[in-house]
Amino acid sequence: QVQLVESGGGLVQAGGSLRLSCAASGRTVSSYAVGWFRQAPGKERTFVAVISANARITQYADSVKGRFTISRDNAKNAVYLQMNYLQPEDTAVYYCASDSRAASSSLTYSYTRAYDIWGQGTQVTVSS
């Protein structure tokens, strides 16, 4: 089974940038769509971004579009999330997730139920 590990989180001031990494092991994720989600304390886990297996299609939540960029390097079995112009409302634990069942679609890519493999999360804190 594929395992996912997020890294790159930390504490930054508003307006700063971070680059998150999602490293896969055990099995390749090159055939799967991979998404990023985030969860703030006391809040539901919400969609951030997704990238298709061939990296030709990306989608973003309205709250991050224009600020965040998702990318992948299938040769390294990794997915990245470049986060620019960070704001306090971006503070959350960030998770990457893969759809090893190929169940996601244009209708379901933003739903947590479309993804079956999840990382442990990495904390992002943005101070004002």
Give the pLDDT band of residue 1 (cuts 50, 70, 90).
Answer: confident
Model confidence pLDDT, tens digit, residues 64-77: 999 999 999 989 99
Model confidence pLDDT, tens digit, residues 9-56: 999 999 999 999 999 998 888 889 999 999 999 999 999 999 999 899
Percent of the chain that is helix, strand, coil (3-state, to 5): 5, 45, 50
30 touches 53 (CB < 8 A): yes
Please report the pLDDT score of residue 28 as a whole number.
84
Closest CA to 70 of 28, 113, 37: 37
Average pLDDT of the chain to the nearest whole number: 95
Q: Which residue has the higher pLDDT, 115 or 105?
A: 115
